[in-house]
Chains A and B, each alone.
Chain A
Amino acid sequence: MNLTLKIWRQKDSSAKGQMVDYKVTDISEHMSFLEMMDVLNEQLVGSGDDPVAFDHDCREGICGMCSMYINGEAHGPDRGVTTCQLHMRMFKDGDTITIEPFRAAAFPVIKDLVVDRTSFERIQQAGGYISVNTSGNTQDANAIPISKHDADEAMDAATCIGCGACVATCKNSSAMLFVGAKVSQYALLPQGQVEAADRVQNMVAQMDLEGFGNCTNTGACEIECPKGISLDNIARLNRELMKAAVK
């Protein structure tokens, strides 16, 4: 298929960016979106132009690196996929595809489609962990009874890959689905109880400090999340913070 691409080009973080039009031809519908971007970049390199910078790593939907806002949606029009898992069969021959970086004040553009998501790392560092004695006396996790329901919900929350699609798609650039998932995966397990109050307070404080917006419960994040992280995790985040406040 032949496509017209409208891509955000920005030389560096301080430069003023703009949309630039490109044509790509003979794109196979079996290609992933990133492979289509590779074709474009080979074309650009061949003609001596600067290739389009975009984040990618594992290319199998688990690392959370690939981003891109494609035709007005985070990770494109398909559901439950990252950009690397998005196939070109989702588009038609002759389509014009708009490709932009994830937009949020807390995700500044580094170059073209690459954004700085280290604000997520700082939120994790603020409380997204448990303190465990690793001196050889660590209790075997399998020896601690956990209900199947709680274990399943904790696992579901832990599938968040921190890609930032929730922030990109939220009209308020809120990070509450991400923070809700990270708080939930520990809040549901016995190992997470010791630091529960500090964890939620510190992570929410860091989230606010980073300049993310306020959740207004539109539910867009849940729809666009490639891992299907449920909005229930935001409700749990709210409950955990309320619990910590009255403790």
Chain B
Amino acid sequence: MGGFFKSSVGRKVAMALSAFFLMFFLLQHFAINILSVLNPDLFNEVSHFMGTNPLIQFALQPVLIFGVVFHFIMGFVLEIKNKKARNVAYVKNNGAANSTWMSRNMIYSGVAILAFIVLHFIDFWFPEINTKFIKGDWSGTIEGVEGFRYYEELTHKFVSPIRVGAYVLAFVFLALHLLHGFTSAFQSMGATAGRKKTLQNIGKAYSILIPLGFIFIALYHHFNH
């Protein structure tokens, strides 16, 4: 099995497996974030559960971080190997004649998403780790303020138009990445279903609606606070 994941086919299977995990995570992340628009109290409750549940914090969170890091590192490794496979570039290459822009530029949309994740970690993840694991405060509250802190922290971040702009741009790149990545992951797993109309349409809907939903959440909080 170790030999399998060292092969070119095995590496793309590994990329697809991490992609499926990340796409599932994205869906779950969106389902929680949209609560901040629909029901702030419920958003606080769910955020506190996610932020303090030992199974999520100590089992799923490390798996998620591994999934993200693995997907990026393997993406870069494959890109370097692929560049080496064509040591002399064409003088004239008409890529648009036979493939989509998204499929040819996954590395660039991926790098844009990586830059966003760095910003996102600085905004939310590092402060959470600091509060819980360094200061040891697992209460989910701020002294002197009633209720949980999560909704307030979220809306506070979306005051800055520059940050909102960066988020919107990142989600456009995420949509572009998913428009190829969703069906590509199925193909890599050996499923021809990814080439059938039904799954292609589900892929398009997922790739456009989820990023659009995240954009809506960012804009909603920006204009309502």
Contacts and interface: CB of A to CB of B under 8 A. Distances in A.
Give the size range of B's interface with the partner. Answer: 35 or more
Interface in A219-243: 219-220, 223-224, 231-232, 234-239, 241-242
B112 interface: no
Contact of B1 (A71, A214, A223, A246): A246
Contacts of A231: 187, 195
Contact of B98 (A100, A174, A214, A220): A220
A220 B95 contact: yes
Given A104-B85, A173-B85, A216 B94 contact: no
Interface in B87-129: 87-95, 97-100, 103-104, 106
B141 interface: no
Q: Secondary structure of the B side of the interface?
A: helix
Interface string A84-107: 000000000000001010011110
A73 interface: yes
Interface stretch (A41-49, A156-164, A201-209): A201-209
A6 B92 CA distance: 10
A77 interface: yes
Range of interface residues on chain A? 35 or more
Contacts of B85: 104-106, 172-174, 211-214
Residue in B1, B13, B91, B100 whose Cβ sees the most chain A Cβ within 10 Å = B91
Interface stretch (B4-12, B23-31, B150-158): B4-12
Interface of A: 6, 8, 19, 69, 71-73, 77, 98, 100, 103-106, 109, 169, 171-174, 176, 201, 204-205, 207-208, 211-220, 223-224, 231-232, 234-239, 241-242, 245-246
9 contacts: A100-B92, A171-B95, A212-B8, A213-B81, A218-B104, A218-B180, A219-B99, A238-B190, A245-B10
